Chain A
Amino acid sequence: MTLVSPAKAGTETASAPPRRRTARRATGLVVSLGVLLAIAAASIAIGAKPIPLDQVWHGLFHYTGSDTDVVIRDVRLPRTILGLLVGVGLGLAGAVIQALTRNPLADPGLLGLNAGASAAVVSAISFLGVTSLTGYVWFAFLGTAVVSVLVYALGGSRSATPVRLALAGMAVYAALYGYVNAVELLDTAALDKMRFWTVGSLASANMTVVRQVAPFLLVGVVLAVLLGRSLNAVALGDDTARALGSNLNRTRALSMIAVTLLCGAATAACGPIAFVGLIVPHLVRALTGPDMRWILPYAAVLSPVLLLGADVIGRLVTRPAELQVGVVTTFIGGPLFIYLVRRRRMAQL
C-alpha cells in the first residue's frame, strides 16, 4: 500500500542538500508558529464585541478589571486556549492514525471515534447523572478507546484499504448514533444538553475545562511526538519494518493510547469535531514530505490554526449569532474529502 506515495511527496525536497532542507523545514515551522500566534490574537480580538489589539495586550498583561479585560480573561482567552489544545489534539491524532493505518483518508471523526465518545457521554449524562466535565472526560476516553480498538481491528490492521477503514468507521458510527438517538429521545433533558455538544463548539469554554483536559492532551502530545520514528518504520510496510527491527505491536499499542488520549480529551472538551485531523496532516505532508518527525510538529502547530480560524469564521459569518466550529470545519473538510477521493488513483476506485 503506497497510498501516501512517499516518493512523490519527497521529490520536491530531495534535490536540496539535507542540511538546507532541515533549515527550510525549521524556518517553516517558525513561520507557522507566527501564524498561530496571529490567529490566537485574532481569536481574542474578534467576536460579538470587537476588541482592538492594544486592548487585548492590555487585558492579557496589565489586567485592571475593566469590562473589556473581563471579557478577555473570562471568555475569549479560555476559548482561545481550548481551541489551541483541541486543535493540537485532533491534528496529532489524525496524523498518527493516518500513519498507523497507511490511510490518507483516516480521521478521528470519520472513523467513529467521536461517536464512541458521544455514546459514552450520553450514557453518562442520562443513566449516571453525570453533569460535570470531570465526569464526562473519563467516559469520553472509554468510548474513544473501545471504538478505536474496534475500528482498527475491523478495518485497519494489516492490509488496510481506505474503503474498509472508512466503512468500519461508518458502521460503528451508525450503530452508536442509533443508540445516542434512542437515549436522547427517551430523555429530553439529555437531548437538550447533547444537541449543543454533538455539533462541536468552543462556546462554553472556561478555564476549568481547560485545566481538566490539558494534562491528558499533554501526555498524548508527548507520546505522539516520541512515536515519530517508529511510525516512519510503519510506513515502509509490515515486513520491511519488522526486518529493520521495529517492534510493530508496541508501536501500534502506543499509537492507540496516544490517539485515545488526544481525541478523547478533545472530544470531551468540546464535542465531536470532524475533518481537522484529516485536512491538516494532508496539507502538512505536502509541505514536509513523508517524515513523521516533521509531520507531527507541523500538524501540532497548523491544526490549531485551522481550528481557531474556523472558530473565528464561525463568529464572523452569522453575527451576532455564531456558527459552531464543528460545522465550519465540516463545511471545509467535507468537500476536501470528496476532492481527495476523486483525485486519488486507488485500485478500488
Chain B
Amino acid sequence: MNASKRTAKSGTRGVTLRTAGLSLRLDVRGAVVGLLLIAVALVMGVVLIGTGDFPIAPADVVRTLFGNGTVAQDFIVNELRLPRVLVGLLVGAALGLGGAIFQSISRNPLGSPDVIGLGQGAAAGALTAIVLVKGDPGVVATGAVLGGVLTGLAVYALAWRQGVHGYRLVLVGIGTSATFTAVNGYLLTQAHQEDAARAVMWLTGSLNGRDWDQVWPLLAVCAVLMPVALGQARNLRMLEMGDDSAYALGVRVERTRMVLMGAAVLLVASATAAAGPVAFVALVAPQLARRLTRSPGPNLLPAAWMGAALLVTADWAAQRAFGADQLPVGVLTGMLGGAYLLWLLVTERRAGRI
C-alpha cells in the first residue's frame, strides 16, 4: 500500500490510498473534520450523561459505561441517561444526513426538510395519534413516520414536472408546510388541556424521557438507510452538476434521486418519530459541515456527524441555560436555526445566489 499526496485544483488536499485492488481518495481536511466532529459528539455525549439532578463526573461516566460503576451510577447512566444521549446522537445524525441529501438534490442550501414541510407532516401524523387516537408512544411514532413519508411523497409528486428540482420543490414545500401548520393548529384546539400540553411538548422536539424503546428502532433504520445513502454519494455529487451532465456521465438521474429522497424522507421521519420535529438541525448541519470541510459536494458523512454533535450540544445547553426551567431541545434549535436562516438569506442575497 502506498499513499500519494496531491493538491487538487479546488484547493482541497487529498491523499490517495492504494492497495492491489482498491484505491481510495481521501480528503484530508474532510477526514480530520469528520474525526473531530465525532470526538465532539462523544465528549458532549459524556458531558450530557453527567448532567442532571445527580451530576456525575465525566470520568465516572466513562467508567460506568464500561461497566465499572456503582449500582446507583449504573442505573442512572445506563438506564436513564444513555438512551437519551443515544437517541440524540442518532436523531442528529439522521437529520444531518437527510438535510444534506435534500439540500444537494434541490441544489439549494434552503431545501431542508424543515422548509419542505416534512417536519410538519410528521407532526400532523403524530398529533392525529395523540389527539384523535389517544395512542401510546409506539402509535405516536408510527403516526409520525407515516405522516412524514406521505408528506414526502406528496411534495415530490406535486413538485414533479419533467423531473423535480430547485425552487419549485422549495415553494411547493412551503405551501405544504403552511397547510400542515393549519392542520396541526386545528388538532391542537381539539385536544383536552393535558393532551394539548403533551402535543405541544412533542411538537417542539424533545429528548426528555427517551429510553431504549426509542433507541432500537431508530438504530435499525439508521443501520439500513445510512449505508444506502452513502452508497449513492458519488451519483449525488454528479447530480449537483445538473441533470444533463449527470446523465451524460452515466447516472440514472431520476432513479438516484428517488432512492436518495426515499432514504432521506425515512431518516427524517424516523428521527421525528423518536424526538419530535427538532427544528433546523437538518438545515444547519450540512451547511456548517460544508464550511468546515471546505469541500464541494454533498459532504454526507460530515453532515451526519455535525448533526449528532449539534443536537447533543444543544440538548446540554437547553438543560443548563435556563436555570430551573428545562426547555426541550427543539426550542433552542428552533430559535438558533431561525436566526441562522435569516443570516443565510442575507449572505446568499449579497452573493447574488437567490
Q: Hey, which bits of chain A sit against chain B, CB under 8 A?
A: 105, 109-110, 154-155, 161-164, 166-168, 170-172, 174-179, 181-182, 184-186, 188, 191-192, 195-196, 198-199, 274-275, 323-324, 326-327, 330-331, 333-335, 337-338, 341-342, 346, 348-349
Residue-wise, chain B 298-332 has the 8 Å CB interface mask toward A (1 for contact) of: 00000000000000000000000000010110110
Which of A110, A154, A174, A185 is B201 in contact with, Cβ under 8 Å? A185
- C-alpha spacing A184/B200, complex, angstroms: 9
Query: Smallest distance from the beta carbon of B52 to chain A beta carbons, Å?
Result: 19
**B200 and A341 within 8 A (CB):** no
Are B354 and A163 neighbours in the complex by a CB distance under 8 Å?
A: yes
Give the chain B neighbours of A184 by CB distance below 8 A: 200
17 further interface pairs, Cβ-Cβ under 8 Å (given A110-B178, A175-B338, A199-B185):
A154-B342, A154-B346, A155-B349, A166-B171, A168-B345, A174-B338, A175-B335, A178-B330, A178-B337, A182-B331, A185-B200, A185-B204, A186-B327, A326-B185, A327-B186, A330-B179, A341-B168
Residue B15 at the chain A interface, CB threshold 8 Å: no
Of B81-89, B91-99, B189-197, the segment with at least 4 beta carbons within 8 Å of chain A is B189-197
Chain B: minimal CB distance from A200 (Å): 8
How far is it, in angstroms, between the C-alpha of A188 and the C-alpha of B177 when the chains are bound? Answer: 26
How far is B203's CA from A330's CA once the two chains are assembled, in angstroms? 20
Residues of B within 8 A of A196 (CB): 189
Does B122 sit within 8 A of A, measured CB to CB? Answer: no
Known: A164-B354, A176-B338, A178-B334. A334 touches B327 (CB 8 A): no
- The DSSP consensus for interface residues of chain A is helix
Q: Contacts A185-B331, A342-B168 hold; do A191 and B175 have CB atoms under 8 A apart?
A: no
* B residues whose Cβ falls under 8 Å from a Cβ of A: 110, 114-115, 158-159, 161, 166-168, 170-172, 174-179, 181-183, 185-186, 188-189, 193, 196-197, 200-201, 203-204, 279-280, 325, 327-328, 330-331, 333-335, 337-339, 341-342, 344-346, 349, 354
A244 and B60 CA atoms in complex are apart in Å by 76
Chain A CB count within 10 A is highest, among B115, B175, B183, B331, for: B175
11 A-B interface contacts by CB (under 8 A): A110-B174, A163-B171, A166-B170, A171-B345, A174-B334, A184-B200, A199-B189, A274-B178, A331-B182, A334-B178, A348-B167
Point out the residues of chain A lying under 8 angstroms from B346, CB to CB: 154
User: Is the Cβ of B196 less than 8 Å from the Cβ of A195?
Assistant: yes
- Contact A174-B189, Cβ < 8 Å, known A188-B197, A199-B182, A341-B172: no
Chain B residues within an 8 Å CB radius of A177: 334, 338
**Residue ID in chain B nearest A195 by CB atoms:** B188
Prevailing SS type, chain B contact patch: helix
For residue A170, which residues in chain B have a CB less than 8 angstroms away from its CB?
A: 115, 174, 177, 341
Residue of B with least CB distance to A187? B325
Bound together, the chains give a CA A105 to CA B175 distance in angstroms of: 10
- Residues of A near B166 (CB, < 8 A) are 348-349
Min distance, Cβ A230 to any Cβ of chain B, angstroms: 26
Kindly report which residue of chain B lies nearest to residue A179, judged by CB atoms. B335
Instruction: Report chain A residues within 8 Å CB of B115.
Output: 167, 170
A181 & B204 in contact (Cβ 8 Å cutoff): yes
CB of B345 within 8 A of CB of A154, answer yes
Once the chains bind, are B170 and A167 in contact (CB under 8 Å)? yes
B331 touches A323 (CB 8 A): no
- Specify which of A154, A182, A323 lies most central, judged by the most chain B CB atoms within 10 Å of its CB: A182
Contacts of B159 in A (CB 8 A): 342
Give chain A residues whose Cβ lies under 8 Å from the Cβ of B175: 334-335, 337-338, 341
